[in-house]
Amino acid sequence: MNPLNLYSAPLLTLFVLLLAGGFLLRRGASLERLLALAVLALGLVAIWYLLRPVQTSPVELAELRSRIGAGRPVLLEFQSPY
């Protein structure tokens, strides 16, 4: 299993924080710049928390078959958590 693919979201977040930290702190650290970096970090964590994949309870086959063709559209998603 490829660790780069498995941990792509945390690695991309770390890269963005390092890039933004380097840009914000290149002329020295000030309270405003450190606050901006902290807000960015908290924002990225909040976005990950809201958009992260979560496991839902599986649907029984009989229930699924009763939903399909009952006059309402059904969306089936098969996804890996990472």
CA pair distance 33, 46, nearest whole angstrom: 20
Q: What is the mean pLDDT of residues 66-79?
A: 76
Residue 76 lies in a domain: no
Q: What is the mean pLDDT of residues 42-59?
A: 83
pLDDT at 1 (0 to 100): 61
CA pair distance 32, 24, nearest whole angstrom: 10
Residue 75 lies in a domain: no
Decide which of 59 and 25 is more confident: 25
Closest CA to 54 of 32, 34, 79: 79
**pLDDT band (50, 70, 90) for residue 81:** low
Residue 78 lies in a domain: no
* Structural domain total, the chain: 1
Residue 30 lies in a domain: yes
DSSP per position, 19-51: HHHHHHTTT---HHHHHHHHHHHHHHHHHHHHH
Residue 77 lies in a domain: no
Residue 68 lies in a domain: no
Residue 25 lies in a domain: yes
Mean pLDDT (the chain, rounded): 82
